[in-house]
A and B are shown apart, each in its own frame.
Chain A
Amino acid sequence: MSHKLITFWRIIKSGVQNFFRNATLAVAAMAVMIITLSIVLFSVIANATFANTVQQITDRIDVSVYLKDSVTVNQREKLTADIKANKNVKSIKYISKDEALEIYKKQNVSNPDLLAAISQTDNPLPASLSIKPIDPNKLNELKAFLDSKEAKALQSDDTSYSGDRKEAIDKISQATKFFREIGFVGVIVFTFVSMLIIFNTIRMSIFNRRDELTIMRLLGASSWYIRGPFVVETVIYGVVSAVVSLTLCYILFVVSASNFDASSLGLLDIKFSSDYFVHNFWVILGAQISIGVLIGAASSLIATRRYLKFKSLS
Chain B
Amino acid sequence: MILLDRVTKTYNKNHTALDRVSLHVEPKEFVIIVGKSGAGKSTLLKLLTCEERPNSGKIVVGGLDYDKLRDRDIPLLRRKIGVVFQDFKLLPNKNVFENVAFALEIVGYGTHEIKNTVPRVLDIVGLKGKEKSMPLELSGGERQRVAIARAIVRQPKILIADEPTGNLDPKHAWDVINVLEKINRYGTTVILTTHNQDIVNKLKRRVITIDEGRISSDRANAKYHAEGTKQ
What residues make up the interface of A, taking CB atoms closer than 8 Å to B?
A: 1-4, 6-7, 10, 211-212, 214-223, 225, 311-313
B51 interface neighbour in A3, A7, A221, A312, Cβ under 8 Å? A312
A220 interface neighbour in B51, B52, B79, B109, Cβ under 8 Å? B79
Q: How far is the CB of B101 from chain A (nearest CB, A)?
A: 11
Q: A6-B110, A7-B107, A313-B46 are in contact. List 4 more A-B contacts (CB 8 A).
A: A6-B108, A219-B106, A223-B72, A313-B85
For residue A5, which residue of chain B has the nearest CB? B108
Q: How far is the CB of B148 from chain A (nearest CB, A)?
A: 13
The answer to whether A220 touches B78 (Cβ under 8 A) is: yes
Bits for B71-97, please: 1 = Cβ < 8 Å to A, else 0: 010011111000101000101000000
> If A6-B110, A313-B46, A313-B51 touch, does A218 touch B89 (CB 8 Å cutoff)?
yes
Q: How far is the CB of A239 from chain B (nearest CB, A)?
A: 26
CB-based closest 3 A-B pairs? A3-B108, A220-B78, A220-B79
The answer to whether B51 touches A311 (Cβ under 8 A) is: yes
A220: chain B residues within 8 A (beta carbon): 75-79, 106-107
B77: chain A residues within 8 A (beta carbon): 220
The answer to whether A312 touches B46 (Cβ under 8 A) is: yes
B150 within 8 Å of A by Cβ? yes
**Most chain A C-beta atoms within 10 Å of own C-beta, residue among B83, B91, B107, B150:** B107
Listed by A's residue number, 6 A-B pairs whose Cβ atoms lie within 8 Å are: A10-B105, A218-B49, A218-B51, A218-B83, A223-B75, A313-B46
B174 within 8 Å of A by Cβ? no
The answer to whether A222 touches B89 (Cβ under 8 A) is: no
Q: How far is the CB of B21 from chain A (nearest CB, A)?
A: 19
A313: chain B residues within 8 A (beta carbon): 46, 51, 85
A218 to B79, CA, bound (A): 9
The answer to whether B109 touches A3 (Cβ under 8 A) is: yes
**Most chain A C-beta atoms within 10 Å of own C-beta, residue among B76, B83, B91, B108:** B108
A217 to B109, CA, bound (A): 17
Q: How far is the CB of A213 from chain B (nearest CB, A)?
A: 11
The answer to whether A218 touches B78 (Cβ under 8 A) is: yes
Q: How far is the CB of A200 from chain B (nearest CB, A)?
A: 24
A294 to B77, CA, bound (A): 33
B89 interface neighbour in A10, A215, A225, Cβ under 8 Å? A215
Q: How far is the CB of B61 from chain A (nearest CB, A)?
A: 14
The answer to whether B78 touches A219 (Cβ under 8 A) is: yes
The answer to whether B108 touches A219 (Cβ under 8 A) is: no
The answer to whether A219 touches B102 (Cβ under 8 A) is: yes
B103 within 8 Å of A by Cβ? yes
Q: How far is the CB of B150 from chain A (nearest CB, A)?
A: 7
Q: How far is the CB of B17 from chain A (nearest CB, A)?
A: 13
Q: How far is the CB of B55 from chain A (nearest CB, A)?
A: 15
Q: How far is the CB of B45 from chain A (nearest CB, A)?
A: 9
Q: How far is the CB of A7 from chain B (nearest CB, A)?
A: 4
A221 to B77, CA, bound (A): 11
A1 to B112, CA, bound (A): 11
A219 to B147, CA, bound (A): 11
The answer to whether B91 touches A4 (Cβ under 8 A) is: no
The answer to whether A219 touches B150 (Cβ under 8 A) is: yes
Q: How far is the CB of B46 from chain A (nearest CB, A)?
A: 7
For residue A215, which residue of chain B has the nearest CB? B89
B105: chain A residues within 8 A (beta carbon): 10
Q: How far is the CB of B134 from chain A (nearest CB, A)?
A: 15
The answer to whether B91 touches A212 (Cβ under 8 A) is: yes
